[in-house]
Structure 1
Amino acid sequence: MVEITFDQLHGWLVAFLWPFCRISGLMLTSPLWGHSSVPRQAKIALAASLTVVMAPVLPAMPSVPLFSWAGLGIVIEQLLVGAAMGLVMRVTLVVVQATGEFIGLQMGLAFATFFDPASGTNMMVLSRILYTITLLMFLALNGHLMVLELLASSFQTLPIGLGRYDPAAFEMLARYGGTIFSFGMLLALPLVAALLIINLGLGILNRSAPQLTVFNIGFPASLTVGVVLLMVLMTDLGRVLQRLFGQGLTFLSEFLQVLAPLSG
């Protein structure tokens, strides 16, 4: 008869629960697995499957009782680490969404919006199209596998029960949020500049020839030029997205390294 002692059961629960919390934090906040269209049961099942696969190769767990305040602190700690990793990838992919917002405003498509259940706000159609293309490109370039690789290596860089983290890493994460505006505007700058020149030209035309109706000319001109420039942008979008993904994955690796120095 097989007998299981309490110490064995406790060891199995600890080896599964704490890594599961870090992986679940990533699944909840990442833009791909954390999307509202993915059922919660699927997220939990995927997190549990990854935990079972990674658990045998993880470092030894701390000798902390699971049902204690210290055990609860480790659970919260792992959730925060996983959520921070997911937030890095979300910021990286939202850059293209911000690009669509900037371009759509200049093209006169601010009225073409619909409710996005993932963010809980209205989103421009152009932003949604670019964001969908970005997600598909992220999958095509195996970006999700690279994120899972960094997740697995994070258990070596940041062992469970480390207890202390460098606050500078979270400041670094907050500053990384500026990438949404800097890189997003840089990507949209060619279209925004061209459409701005068209709007200035229409303003001058309205002053010199008031009998012309600028609204009847401006919207079709801005929309036509915007669509043509978007076609040109799409030809080089793959290279830009590769650079964006590489920058995001590099920052994620650096973020995990910055969290670690206080371990000693």
Structure 2
Amino acid sequence: MINITSNELIGLVSSFIWPLTRILGLIAIAPPFGNTTVPVEVKLILGVMLALIVAPSMPPLAAGDPLSLTGMMILGQQLVIGVAMGFVIRVVFGGLEMAGEVIGLTMGLGFASFFDPQTQGRTNAISQFLVLVATLLFVTMNVHLSMLSALVESFTSIPISTSLTMGFSFQRLAIWGEQIFIYGMQLSLPIVAALLITNIALGILTRAAPQLNLFGIGFPITIGVGFLMVGLVLPYLMLPIETMFRQGIEAMQSLSLQPPHAVIPPR
């Protein structure tokens, strides 16, 4: 007959609930798991499976009741850590969305927008196209596995502690937010430059032939040049996007105040 004391039962529950909270925090935010089109049941099953894998390999935790004040604070701590790690990857996709917004506005597609269930806001067609391409690369390059691997490693670099210390740098997380603007401008700059040259040429043409209807010929030309440049630049975006993903994984690891190392496996 197996006898389990109340302290042992509390320890088993704690060693499962606290890692599960961190894992679910990342899954709720990080793409592609955090997409609203992914059923909640799938997210819960994935989180429980990862928690069952991680919990036995974790070092013994200090005794603590999950329903006590300290236990609830540790629960909130793990949720914040998981959400922060998911936010790091979400910033990468935010940079892609910003690049699509800049390209779309420069092309004249400011009115060609629709509701995005992921961000609960307005987005244009170019932005959604870039996000879909990045999501396919995210899966084909096994970056989602690298992200989950970094999450599992975080239980060693940012251990669960009853001391209520967060164990990661909020400053690095805040500084990482600037990458949205950096990635957005870097990816959109070639197409924006081509459209700028196109607009300058249209301006010179309008001055040379004032009888031409700029609004009648300008929009089709800028939209056509924009789509042409997107088609020409798209094959060369794979390397920059892969670099963005690698930097995102490194940023996840650098939150733990330990030297980061890339974990994206070779294809």
Structure 2 matches for 1:1-264, cutoff 5 A? 1-161=1-161, 162-165=163-166, 169-257=169-257
Q: Is the 8 A contact 2:157 2:258 kept in 1?
A: no
Q: Is the 8 A contact 2:29 2:83 kept in 1?
A: yes
Q: Is the 8 A contact 2:22 2:82 kept in 1?
A: yes
Q: Separation in 1 of the partners of 2:186 and 2:142? A: 25
Q: Is the 8 A contact 1:191 1:229 kept in 2?
A: yes
What amino acid is aligned across from residue 250 of structure 1 in structure 2?
E
Please give the per-residue CA displacement for 1:8-50, whole angstroms capped at 9, x wherever unaligned: 2111101100001110110111121111001111111110111
Q: Is the 8 A contact 2:16 2:55 kept in 1?
A: yes
Q: CA RMSD in A?
A: 1.6
Aligned residue pairs, count: 258
Deviation of 1:112 after TM superposition, in Å, equals 1.3
Q: Is the 8 A contact 1:62 1:160 kept in 2?
A: no
Q: Separation in 1 of the partners of 2:175 and 2:205? A: 43
What amino acid is aligned across from residue 218 of structure 2 in structure 1?
G
Q: Is the 8 A contact 1:166 1:258 kept in 2?
A: no
Please give the per-residue CA displacement for 1:119-176, whole angstroms capped at 9, x wherever unaligned: 1101101110110110110010000110111111111111101522467x21221121
What amino acid is aligned across from residue 164 of structure 2 in structure 1?
G
Q: Greater helix share, 1 or 2?
A: 1
* 2:264 matched residue in structure 1: none
Deviation of 1:258 after TM superposition, in Å, equals 5.6
Moved more, 169-178 or 80-89: 169-178
Please give the per-residue CA displacement for 1:188-216, whole angstroms capped at 9, x wherever unaligned: 10110110121122223323432110011
Gaps of 5+ in 1: 260-264
Q: Separation in 1 of the partners of 2:129 and 2:256? A: 32
The alignment partner of 1:203 has SS state of helix
Q: Separation in 1 of the partners of 2:90 and 2:231? A: 26
User: TM-score normalized by structure 2?
Assistant: 0.92
User: TM-score normalized by structure 1?
Assistant: 0.93
The alignment partner of 2:256 has SS state of helix
Q: Separation in 2 of the partners of 1:203 and 1:122? A: 31
The alignment partner of 2:114 has SS state of strand
Q: Is the 8 A contact 2:10 2:64 kept in 1?
A: no
Please give the per-residue CA displacement for 1:98-122, whole angstroms capped at 9, x wherever unaligned: 1111111111111111111111101
Deviation of 1:89 after TM superposition, in Å, equals 0.4
The alignment partner of 1:257 has SS state of coil
Distance 1:86 1:109, change over 3 A: same
Moved more, 195-204 or 75-84: 195-204
Q: Separation in 2 of the partners of 1:105 and 1:96? A: 14
Deviation of 1:239 after TM superposition, in Å, equals 1.1
The alignment partner of 1:62 has SS state of coil
What amino acid is aligned across from residue 73 of structure 1 in structure 2?
M
What amino acid is aligned across from residue 17 of structure 1 in structure 2?
I
Gaps of 5+ in 2: 260-267
What amino acid is aligned across from residue 112 of structure 2 in structure 1?
A
